[in-house]
Amino acid sequence: MKYIEKLRNSGLRPTKQRLQICEVLFNTERTFHFTINELEQKIKDKIDNKISLATIYNTVHAFEKKGYLKQIPVNSNQTYFDTNITDHHHFYNLKDGKLIDLENSDVGPINIKRKIDGKKIKSIEVLVKLED
Amino acid sequence: MKYIEKLRNSGLRPTKQRLQICEVLFNTERTFHFTINELEQKIKDKIDNKISLATIYNTVHAFEKKGYLKQIPVNSNQTYFDTNITDHHHFYNLKDGKLIDLENSDVGPINIKRKIDGKKIKSIEVLVKLED
DNA sequence: TGACTAGTTTATAATGGTTCTAAATAGCTG
DNA sequence: CAGCTATTTAGAACCATTATAAACTAGTCA
Ligand SMILES: [Mn+2]
Ligand SMILES: [Mn+2]
Ligand SMILES: [Zn+2]
Ligand SMILES: [Zn+2]
């Protein structure tokens, strides 16, 4: 399978559960945004056996640490993740809590003029809140 | 007192608790960022009587709704608020979870080229994550 | 192939920030 | 002051997330 090597190279054992979660997350036409609850539902829909919620959390965190997923900063009681790990930004629809990708080309280049010494910039993320 | 009228004009009764919270939040040299826990501590330090945690939550939400406070989108288990309600951006120090203001002049002007129809932009917020 | 080991999964409990509840209190108006 | 409504409060409830610890499994090597 295509994900076995990817996992092994990351130092993660290619377990049945992780491979199935890879299918749901990465074997898709498009990238997408999700909360753990939404992912849990998607997994239930696409897979016959059960994967425990703890494993879903564990796996998402493992993948995030390896850089296969990103967390998106929004104000919500749930954590949002993104399978699109390129540098990009987001519209956040306050009405329904859905995110929409904003490519870098949709936002001008962002040049942070101020420096904090001893610190490096890890990421620059723009969140554009939308209302009706 | 200076906050009585502000509260009345907002349709909020100027209760003892709200006035005291106003003192802590707004009677300061500089604006600041806080979580509810940090605010609770600040209130304990500056005020003799007790204000219940429920009232702190109620008041912060009431003030946010009136536009006297802003919520800042970050990935944290706690909600961050800001007494600086001008349009501005943030550095987020991943090491200690502290926020630093980035003025609009520290970030170039941001021009969102894409439109979502039926939707208006409510805010544009840039979060710059810092690591060592 | 059969141990051995470390990594992983799992059900379930615990945690902790936030919200809810409903009774007591306090501000406002007449 | 009386009456009305908003507000405060202690404590319970909620719920996303994390911790626990026992069962299981992938990888290794004899
Ligand atoms: Mn979630
Ligand atoms: Mn908080
Ligand atoms: Zn995205
Ligand atoms: Zn700020």
Band of the pLDDT at B109, cuts 50, 70, 90? Answer: confident
Strand order across the beta sheet in which B33-34 lies: B33-34, B80-82, B70-72
Residue in A105, A109, A132 nearest the CB of B119: A132
pLDDT score for B1: 66
A67 vs B: CB within 8 A: no
A118 vs B: CB within 8 A: yes
- pLDDT of residue B110 exceeding 80: yes
Beta-strand runs (E) in chain A:
33-34, 70-72, 80-82, 89-93, 98-102, 120-131
Residues 6+ apart with CB under 8 A from B99: B33, B72, B74, B80, B82, B90, B91, B92, B93
**Which of the residues B91, B105, B115 would you substitute to probe the A interface, choosing the one with the greatest number of A C-beta atoms within 10 Å?**
B91
Q: Please tell me the distance from the alpha carbon of residue A32 to that of residue A69, in angstroms, as a whole number.
A: 10
Cβ proximity of B30 and B52 under 8 Å: no
- Nearest nucleic acid nucleotide to A52, CA to C1' distance: C10
Q: Which residue has the tokens 């990465």?
A: A26
Residue in A123, A127, A130 nearest the CB of B73: A127
A31-85 pLDDT, tens digit per residue, is 999 999 999 999 999 999 999 999 999 999 999 999 999 999 999 999 999 999 9
Footprint of strand C on the protein (CB under 7 A): A 12-13, 15-18, 49-55, 58-59, 77; B 8, 13-16, 35-37, 53-54, 57, 61, 77-79
Q: Please tell me the distance from the alpha carbon of residue A73 to that of residue A20, in angstroms, as a whole number.
A: 27
A74 vs B: CB within 8 A: yes
Q: Please tell me the distance from the alpha carbon of residue B43 to that of residue B56, in angstroms, as a whole number.
A: 9
- Nearest nucleic acid nucleotide to B13, CA to C1' distance: C27
The DSSP bridge pattern shows strands A89-93 and A120-131 to be: parallel
pLDDT score for B123: 94
pLDDT score for A9: 93
Residue B127 to residue A73, Cβ atoms within 8 A:
yes
Cβ proximity of B125 and B89 under 8 Å: yes
B40-80 pLDDT, tens digit per residue, is 999 999 999 999 999 999 999 999 999 999 999 999 999 99
Average pLDDT over residues B108-128: 93
Q: Long-range CB contacts (< 8 A, 24+ apart) of B110-113?
A: B110/A107, B110/A108, B110/A110, B110/A126, B111/A107, B111/A108, B112/A102, B112/A106, B112/A107, B112/A128, B113/A105, B113/A106, B113/A107
B38-62 b/e (C-beta count within 10 Å ≥ 16 → b): ebbeebeeeeeeebeeebbeebbeb
A104 vs B: CB within 8 A: no
- Hey, what amino acid is at B83? T
Q: What is this structure's pTM? A: 0.93
Percentage of chain B lying above the pLDDT 70 cut:
99
Query: In CATH, what number does B2-130 get?
Result: 1.10.10.10
Q: Please tell me the distance from the alpha carbon of residue B13 to that of residue B68, in angstroms, as a whole number.
A: 15
Q: Which residue has the tokens 């520290």?
A: B106
- pLDDT of residue A1 exceeding 70: no
Domain-by-domain residue ranges, chain A? 2-130
Q: Please tell me the distance from the alpha carbon of residue A102 to that of residue A53, in angstroms, as a whole number.
A: 30
Beta-strand runs (E) in B22-88:
33-34, 70-72, 80-82
pLDDT score for A2: 87
- pLDDT of residue B27 exceeding 90: yes
